[in-house]
Amino acid sequence: MLSGRLFVVSLVFFGSLVAVASSTAAAAEVAVEGTADIRGATALYRDKDPAALGYHARSGQKNQLRNAVRRTLKKDPQNVAALAQRAYWHAESGNIKAARRDYEAATAASTDNPANRARVHWSRGWSRYGQGDVAGAIDDWHQAEKLHGGKPFWVPYTYAVAYWTLGDRDRALAWYDVAVASNASWGDEAAMKKRSSHWEDGEKEKLHALFAVWRDSRSEATASAH
């Protein structure tokens, strides 16, 4: 579910679309020594990112949301957000050809708007992840991050789950350290599960497994320091 990557706090109407709002929480600044993928930076990822916006239906309102997206595209066939959302749904249902067509249309409609181009990359990244193309997903997310130009909030936990899925334990743990440094709630099991409660089952499984290993590794590090 595309909106699974957002910290859902409320639903608001933008035109005929229901958008998922997101929020970020402050955390204590922590220096993180990462791998090359983290670029060795002591960085916190707390910047808002309008590109990382999906759509999430309230319980029992999925058809209403789909109809809203359909109406939006009828009025504005080049609406990038709606095209990206429909593309994600197509991929989710296995219609890869239709998904590719909508993502290509969204890309063409966003050539003069970096934020919209970033939205397409962010959405397509999760679509690719869901299809098992994790390397392709990471490439799209790198592009979305680059187009943002700052430190968007979604980067650390997204990369952490991606690298964990690829079996790259060290990079996954390093990125999860960054996620917790940027937003302390990722370091609390209950808060982590609440934030990811609307993720797809497979995504939650990966995140929970990563968290368990991260927690154990931090406990071992603390014990060895005493």
Beta partners for residue 20, in sequence order: 11
Q: Report the pLDDT value the prediction gives residue 225, as an integer from 0 to 100.
A: 64
Q: Report the pLDDT value the prediction gives residue 218, as an integer from 0 to 100.
A: 87
Q: Report the pLDDT value the prediction gives residue 198, as an integer from 0 to 100.
A: 80
* Cβ–Cβ under 8 Å, residues 52 and 122: yes
Beta partners for residue 152, in sequence order: 47
So where are the chain's domains?
Answer: 2-224
Strands 17-20 and 11-14: antiparallel
Stretches where the chain sits below pLDDT 70 are 1-42, 222-226
8-36 tens-digit pLDDT: 323 333 333 444 433 332 222 333 333 33
Which residues, including other chains, have CB under 8 Å from residue 20's CB and lie 6 or more apart? 3, 6, 8, 11, 53, 54, 55, 56
Q: Which one-letter DSSP state was computed for residue 154?
A: T
* Cβ–Cβ under 8 Å, residues 44 and 31: no
Burial 30-63 (b: 16+ CB within 10 A, else e): eebebeeebeeeebbbbeebebbbbbbbeeeeee
Distance, CA of 134 to CA of 68 (rounded, Å): 30
Distance, CA of 125 to CA of 88 (rounded, Å): 10
Indicate the fold that domain 2-224 takes in CATH.
1.25.40
Q: Which of 160, 176, 138 is closest to 32 using CA atoms?
A: 176
The number of C-alpha atoms within 13 Å of 130 and in the hemisphere containing its C-beta is 24
* Cβ–Cβ under 8 Å, residues 207 and 173: no
Distance, CA of 136 to CA of 148 (rounded, Å): 19
Q: Which one-letter DSSP state was computed for residue 76?
A: -
Distance, CA of 101 to CA of 157 (rounded, Å): 29
Instruction: Supply the mean pLDDT for the chain.
Output: 84
Which residues, including other chains, have CB under 8 Å from residue 47's CB and lie 6 or more apart? 148, 150, 151, 152, 153
Tell me the pTM: 0.81
Q: Report the pLDDT value the prediction gives residue 15, as an integer from 0 to 100.
A: 37
